[in-house]
């Protein structure tokens, strides 16, 4: 679909290994109708060539502020005025620092200063560089200056580290760009509470029981709902994700803590979405000291059932929100989901198959079957951000009806 028809996007590419994905990003943007012009910083040219980007964008690529021929064709001020959006992907720690300080020491930073268009940056760097207080302060400055920050993603990095700092995938960047151009603010006034991530059930001071949930789906839902104007409370178990803009976040560890936080938020919400992978059981008695290994070949832990958070929300006698659950299954996906819809008295349930490694838990993509009393809809495999927007739209339509 031509979701970006006639949108003029100035794509700034700075130096980082993620620059190899920029050619794909240009393709995805142009496929959706955008007119893309590319500026490369000098470091970016070490990772990707102007020729590649010229071929995929169909436009000449700019890289020098002081190139008389380029200035005669489309000068930096013209480029800055031409853009409906400046998207910088990947945005290195260096370019983020220069933008935060208003430097204009190359073509890209000069264009940003000279443009009144919105600017979005997709950070891409080593996890330690991302965590560094200097980078965090620079990003906070950019947010204050109304820059949009896309990502970063979390996961394995080219340098061998793992953590936050990966550039979002091209399709995720496209979804965020689409949202930016058509912010459907039709959820204004709606209060939505979302639970996300795993819970952690302590065994002793150093050990716990948990699961592989990354929290990405819940965070994507929170971001989509906030972008559509809703007032969002995100109750999150331990995850490595940045809080989406405009979202109120409550961090919890255990299912009992999540239960408490969820019930007090739910009675003040119009919609409650239980996306968290809540541990069904906790250890009956948490040991005060680290458990020591005994001589026996086996050890036994006594587990007791945790409260079912979403069932408790759906059973609220008053101020019950429209309640949406998730069902992560490895087999009989639809059947189990339908049972959960009924047993937990939910209004809607989103079933996903977590047996496939290319979607669901810990993946950037997901596919969902959404079931409610009287209907079903399949949302095919897509980046979680894109799926989140579709799902929030569907939920809000059902809430309103
Ligand atoms: N859920 C919850 N509290 C729990 C367990 C689950 O709120 N203690 C919610 C989840 O957030 C999700 C839905 O219930 O929205 C289904 O979670 P799931 O783990 O698939 O189902 P369970 O009820 O735990 O059943 P089972 O593990 O046997 O599949």
Average pLDDT over residues 327-341: 94
Average pLDDT over residues 149-153: 90
Average pLDDT over residues 147-152: 91
Q: Ligand 1: which residue has its CA nearest to atom 27?
A: 280
Residue 112 has pLDDT above 80, yes or no: yes
Question: Which of 341, 348, 352 is closest to 380 using CA atoms?
Answer: 352
Tell me the three-class secondary structure of 279-294, residue by residue: CCEEECCCCCCCCCCC
Q: Which two tokens stand for residue 295?
A: 């001589």
Could you say which of 55, 77, 134, 159 is catalytic?
A: 159
pLDDT at residue 73, as a whole number: 65
pLDDT at residue 384, as a whole number: 83
Q: Which two tokens stand for residue 214?
A: 């990354």
pLDDT at residue 159, as a whole number: 83
Pairwise CA distance, residues 21 & 60, whole Å: 19
> Please, which residues have CB within 8 angstroms of residue 181's CB and are 6 or more apart in sequence?
3, 4, 7, 84, 85
Average pLDDT over residues 119-124: 96
CB distance 309 to ligand 1 below 6 Å: yes
Pairwise CA distance, residues 137 & 96, whole Å: 10
The alpha carbon of 327 and the centre of ligand 1 are apart by a number of angstroms equal to: 7
CB distance 259 to ligand 1 below 6 Å: no
Q: Ligand 1: which residue has its CA nearest to atom 9?
A: 310
53-66 pLDDT, tens digit each: 999 999 999 888 77
Q: Which two tokens stand for residue 40?
A: 């490369």
Q: Ligand 1: which residue has its CA nearest to atom 24?
A: 280
Residue 313 Cα: closest atom of ligand 1:
7
Residue 183 has pLDDT above 70, yes or no: no
Contacts by 296-304, CB closer than 8 A, 24 or more apart: 301/203
CB distance 337 to ligand 1 below 6 Å: no
Q: Which two tokens stand for residue 81?
A: 């005025």
Average pLDDT over residues 51-80: 84
In which band, very low, low, confident or very high, does the pLDDT at 184 lie, cut at 50, 70 and 90?
low
- Who has greater pLDDT, 76 or 119? 119
Question: Which of 65, 16, 66, 13 is closest to 41 using CA atoms?
Answer: 13
Cα torsion angle, 50, 54, 55, 57, sign: positive
271-323 pLDDT, tens digit each: 999 999 999 999 999 999 999 998 899 999 999 999 999 999 999 999 999 99
CB distance 120 to ligand 1 below 6 Å: no
CB distance 256 to ligand 1 below 6 Å: no
CB distance 39 to ligand 1 below 6 Å: no
Structural domains of the chain, ranges and CATH numbers in brackets: 8-181 (3.40.50.1950), 191-284+302-400 (3.40.50.10300)
H/E stretch holding 119 = strand 119-123
The alpha carbon of 199 and the centre of ligand 1 are apart by a number of angstroms equal to: 12
The alpha carbon of 227 and the centre of ligand 1 are apart by a number of angstroms equal to: 27
In which band, very low, low, confident or very high, does the pLDDT at 35 lie, cut at 50, 70 and 90?
very high
Binding-site positions for CTP? 274-276, 280, 290, 307-310, 326, 340, 344
Average pLDDT over residues 243-259: 95
Pairwise CA distance, residues 188 & 396, whole Å: 11
The residue written with tokens 């009675």 in the block is: 267
The alpha carbon of 308 and the centre of ligand 1 are apart by a number of angstroms equal to: 7
342-392 pLDDT, tens digit each: 999 999 999 988 887 665 566 778 899 999 988 999 998 888 888 898 899
Binding-site positions? 274-276, 280, 290, 307-310, 326, 340, 344
- Who has greater pLDDT, 203 or 185? 203
Pairwise CA distance, residues 86 & 80, whole Å: 8
pLDDT at residue 360, as a whole number: 58
pLDDT at residue 162, as a whole number: 84
Residue 123 has pLDDT above 90, yes or no: yes
CB distance 326 to ligand 1 below 6 Å: yes
- Who has greater pLDDT, 251 or 151? 251
User: What does pLDDT average to over the chain?
Assistant: 92
User: Catalytic site residue 159?
Assistant: yes
Average pLDDT over residues 228-250: 93
Residue 175 has pLDDT above 70, yes or no: yes
pLDDT at residue 182, as a whole number: 75
pLDDT at residue 242, as a whole number: 86
The alpha carbon of 236 and the centre of ligand 1 are apart by a number of angstroms equal to: 15
Q: Ligand 1: which residue has its CA nearest to atom 28?
A: 280
- Who has greater pLDDT, 2 or 171? 171
Question: Which of 261, 274, 259 is closest to 348 using CA atoms?
Answer: 274
Residue % of the chain over a pLDDT of 90: 74
- Who has greater pLDDT, 356 or 91? 91
Average pLDDT over residues 209-235: 94
Q: Which two tokens stand for residue 324?
A: 């949406």
CB distance 341 to ligand 1 below 6 Å: no
Residue 185 has pLDDT above 90, yes or no: no
Pairwise CA distance, residues 310 & 193, whole Å: 11
């Amino acid at each position: 679909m031509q979701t970006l028809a006639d949108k003029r996007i100035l794509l700034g590419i700075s130096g980082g290994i993620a620059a190899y994905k920029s050619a794909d990003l240009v393709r995805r943007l142009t496929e959706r109708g955008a007119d893309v012009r590319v500026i490369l910083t000098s470091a970016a040219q070490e990772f990707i060539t102007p020729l590649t980007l010229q071929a995929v964008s169909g436009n000449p690529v700019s890289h020098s502020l002081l190139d008389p021929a380029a200035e005669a064709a489309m000068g930096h001020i013209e480029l800055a005025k031409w853009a409906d959006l400046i998207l910088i992907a990947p945005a290195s720690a260096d370019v983020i620092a220069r933008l935060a300080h208003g430097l204009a020491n190359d073509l890209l930073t000069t264009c940003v200063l000279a443009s009144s268009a919105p600017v979005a940056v997709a950070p891409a760097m080593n996890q330690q560089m991302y965590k560094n207080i200097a980078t965090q302060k620079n990003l906070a400055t950019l947010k204050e200056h109304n820059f949009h920050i896309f990502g970063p993603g979390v996961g394995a990095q080219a340098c061998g580290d793992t953590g936050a700092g990966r550039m979002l995938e091209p399709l995720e960047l496209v979804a965020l760009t689409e949202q930016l151009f058509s912010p459907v603010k039709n959820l204004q006034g709606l209060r939505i509470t979302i639970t996300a991530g795993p819970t952690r059930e302590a065994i002793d001071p150093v050990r716990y029981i948990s699961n592989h949930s990354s929290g990405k789906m819940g965070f994507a839902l929170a971001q989509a709902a906030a972008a559509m104007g809703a007032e969002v409370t995100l109750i999150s178990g331990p995850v490595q994700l940045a809080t989406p803009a405009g979202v109120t976040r409550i961090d919890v560890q255990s299912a009992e803590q999540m239960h408490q936080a969820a019930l007090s938020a739910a009675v003040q919400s119009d919609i409650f979405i239980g996306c968290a992978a809540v541990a069904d059981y906790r250890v009956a008695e948490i040991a005060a000291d680290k458990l020591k290994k005994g001589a026996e070949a086996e050890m036994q832990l006594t587990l007791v059932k945790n409260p079912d958070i979403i069932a408790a929300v759906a059973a609220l006698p008053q101020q019950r929100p429209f309640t949406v659950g998730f069902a992560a299954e490895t087999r009989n996906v639809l059947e189990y989901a339908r049972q959960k819809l009924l047993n937990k008295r939910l209004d809607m349930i989103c079933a996903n198959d977590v047996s496939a490694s290319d979607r669901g838990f810990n993946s950037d993509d997901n596919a969902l079957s959404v079931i409610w009393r009287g209907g079903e809809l399949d949302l095919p495999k897509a980046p979680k951000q894109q799926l989140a927007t579709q799902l929030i739209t569907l939920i809000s339509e059902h809430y309103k009806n």
